[in-house]
Structure 1
Amino acid sequence: MTTILVTGGTGTLGRLVTERLRADGHEVRVLSRHAQPYAVDLREGGSGLEAAVAGADAIVHCASSPRGGDERAAERLIAAARRAEVPHVVYISIVGVDAVPFGYYRTKWAVEKLVEESGLGWTILRTTQFHDLVAQVLGGLARLPVLFLPAGVSDQPIEAAEVADRLAGLAAGAPAGRVEDMGGPEVRTFRSLAEAHLRATGKRRPVLEVPLAGKAYRAFRTGHHLTPDHSVGRGTFEDFLKSRSENHA
């Protein structure tokens, strides 16, 4: 039986990866700040990390925080994996991290480099944004009387469960380096996504597109975070919204 450690295993993606790996017959260890017996904050380290990586055949590194600390967390994880001689680390990243000068993207790119230079066997998968995140952002924007959007920006959201399936398959295989990007089924204007979200939530808001300044905004407008040549996802944003509505009914 293959033993696989999933960091961030209680999060949106990590939970799905864990479920898929267990369904495939793997022994899965879940590492997060509050998941026993491997309750570890990777940013702070701790004795539980050594136990979590000991004897693991692979690590799927899903733990991440936009509030910072990802590089420090990766350094600690990689050091522990080296000591335990873990043969394979799988890292989930984002399309465009090397082309969009946005803080969180730059951090993800830096972690990619740490993984690549770790001396361990590695696989890196970049995907576009999850439906969950797009819905969360739009839900926050819709709290105002007017829904303000960045002008001229598109997105290509993907179903998190599809990414989890791909990660689980990669973790069960041999190190593959940087694999092909994985994008959602459609490149959509942010306005069309916002209008779909308003319809699904029954809200009425005027939508106003506002041009922004800065290099990151220009990179998003240019589409560096998109991968239209790898539109392999199947579930659309409307599919996600319908499923979420049914689950909450």
Structure 2
Amino acid sequence: MSTILVTGGTGTLGSPLVARLRAAGHEVRALSRHSQDHPVDLMDGRGLDAATAGAEVVVHCATNPRGGDDVAAGHLIEAARRSGTVTNTVYVSIVGVDVIPLRYYEVKHQVERMLLESGLGVTILRTTQFHDLVAMVTDTVAKLPVLPVPLPKGVRVQPVAVTEVADRMAELAVPTPAGRVPDMGGPEVHALVELGRAYLEATGRGRRVFALPLAGKAYAAFRRGGNLTPQNAVGKVTFADFLAERA
């Protein structure tokens, strides 16, 4: 069994991943700023040396859409180097980070490059958006004081279950690095408008949905399907399954 450090260990992906790793018998250090056992601030590196000491595997799930992922990754890379024991740093990224000119995606892609150029053993998994993200986006726009609910026109998504991503990450969290592994996508591709409508209906909000045309290079890249990986539709849980479970 290994000693595994998980950043973002209390988050949407980190929580089920930590549970799986512990169930498999590993010693798991779930990092967060408020952790009693391993308090760590990735933005300034405080606590990282103690957290990485003796760890063989680092799984990097922590992320912040508001920015700073590159700074956090830099501190994590330096701590992993200093540890002298980390042999594999596993990073979860997003399908399309290399083709969609969205700032958050560009930073995620920069973190991939930082890891690959770090000299550390690295494993990188890109996934499509989680089912939960589709729900969150729909909830956010549904709060706007407009009727009907606006969602981007022509954007398709291929959502995947976070539990299935946690399963895959647990498989990759081994001492031997695997480099860039095949992308992981959900089982079906649907229009975001279609899934947003289904989510509102399933949550008792039968509001109309409006397909809103947008502008910009990032929107155009999404419309071209840069966020999709139909050739890697390995997920089994559909968005309908996700809705049924939430109901």
TM range (shorter): over 0.9
Q: Over residues 63-101 of structure 1, what are the superposed CA-to-partner deviations in whole Å (9 max), with x where a residue is unaligned?
A: 000111110000000000001021110000000000000
State percent identity of aligned pairs: 60
Aligned-partner SS, 1:12: coil
Please state whether the residue corresponding to 2:5 is helix, strand or coil. Answer: strand
In 2, are the aligned partners of 1:150 and 1:212 still within 8 Å (CA)? yes
Q: Does 1:7 align with 2:2?
A: no
Counterpart residue identity of residue 66, structure 1: P
Q: Are the counterparts in 1 of residues 57 and 175 from structure 2 also a CA contact under 8 Å?
A: no
Which residue of structure 2 aligns with residue 177 of structure 1? 179
The answer for the alignment partner of 1:138 in structure 2 is: 138
1:208-242 deviations in Å (ceiling 9; x for gaps)? 11111100000000001100000000111121122
Alpha carbons 2:138, 2:196 under 8 Å: kept: yes
- Deviation of 1:173 (Å): 5.2
8 Å contact from structure 1 (residues 10, 35) kept in 2: no
Report the 3-state secondary structure (helix = DSSP H, G, I; strand = E; otherwise coil) of the residue aligned with 1:218: helix
Aligned length: 244
Q: CA shift at 1:204, angstroms? A: 2.1
1:27-38 matches, cutoff 5 A: 27-38=27-38
Partner of residue 22, structure 1: 22
TM-score normalized by the length of structure 1: 0.96
CA distance in 2, matches of 1:179, 1:173: 15
Stretch moving more, 12-21 or 165-174? 165-174
Equivalent residue number for residue 94 of structure 2: 94
1:225 aligns with 2:227: yes
Match in the other structure for 1:201: 203
What amino acid is aligned across from residue 82 of structure 2 in structure 1?
R
* Root-mean-square deviation (Å): 0.9
Q: Answer yes or no: is the 8 Å Cα contact 2:88–2:123 preserved in 1.
A: yes
Aligned to 2:137, what secondary structure does the other structure show? helix
Q: How does 1:1-249 map to 2 (within 5 A)?
A: 1-46=1-46, 48-85=47-84, 86-144=86-144, 145-172=147-174, 174-245=176-247
For the residues of structure 2 that align with 1:14 and 1:222, how far apart are their CA atoms?
A: 30
**Residue segments in structure 2 that go unaligned for 5+ positions in a row:** none
